[in-house]
Amino acid sequence: MSSTREFETCPRRYRFGYVERRPKDRPVPPHWRFGTVVHAGLEAAWRGVREDPDAPLAAHLVAAVAAADAAVEAEGLGPDDRDRAERILTAALEADVVRDRDGADDGPLAAVPPRPIGVEEALRGWAGGDHDRVIGFADLILEHADGTVELVDHKVTSRRLAPEDLRDDFQLNLYGHLASKRWREAPRILATVHYPTGPDAVSVELGAEGMRAADRRVRAAARAIAAETEFPPVPSRACGDCPWQPSCPEGSARDADV
């Protein structure tokens, strides 16, 4: 997923991150680190639901805030970030907009709430050869009463994706493809983007062709990576947020030109 995008964006960037595993030249932006904090809290809450499915999501607020506090310290953030994370988590857990849906955008409340079957769940597959392993981690996976599998992605951002964008999202379609191979009897694969800052969510049903297209895209990238030896840089707007831009002459030159 992310490795395919990195290679498509810039082969040199892929080399730095996935071949050489070079340390980043500059720190992760604060808003990305804050997203990690909220994710940690949501993960703790949903793990609690897996252990105690009859309790409401908000019953796990204490564990969620504790996990967020630990993440604030680990990410080097401050007390304001801690307070903001607690406010977001409190609202998100009390609303529980993820389960108060029937899997369709703006649909009625589900008669039987879906149950979590995966939290930070690894989805694995192969993109061709024996060493072309595909792996991604779904923030949350739910199973509905009819066997439908729903993939939930938490996004701590103000930008909202429209349903049509969600249907075409590469990552979610690839996750859907991997999920469809794992849960072969599932009648549908749903994708939901959960915005805890709302809190709100957008859900769509993933189509078979979109999921196959994502699989083909990964396979094509795997073939290109296997054939690559130089991993040349491809200067673009993406140089501006590349964590290795300071040590890449081409990226630094592109950034200076802009």
How high is the mean pLDDT in each 10-residue block of the chain (258 residues)? 87 92 84 94 97 93 98 96 98 93 46 90 76 82 96 93 91 95 96 95 96 93 90 89 84 53
Backbone dihedral angles phi then psi of residue 190, each to the nearest 5 degrees: -105, 150
Neighbours of 171 (CB within 10 A): 17
In whole angstroms, what is the distance from residue 66 CA to residue 33 CA? 16
Q: Which pLDDT value is given to residue 252? A: 59
Q: Which pLDDT value is given to residue 132? A: 64
Given its phi and psi angles, is residue 59 left (phi above 0), alpha (psi -120 to 50 degrees) or beta?
alpha
Q: Which residue has the tokens 């979610």?
A: 172
> CB burial class (10 A; 0-12, 13-18, 19+) of residue 122?
exposed
* Residues 6+ positions from 87 with CB-CB distance below 8 Å: none
For residue 99, the one-letter residue type is: R
Q: Which pLDDT value is given to residue 129? A: 55
Q: Which pLDDT value is given to residue 37? A: 97
pTM for the predicted model, two decimal places: 0.88
* 3-class secondary-structure state, position 134: strand
Q: Which pLDDT value is given to residue 104? A: 45
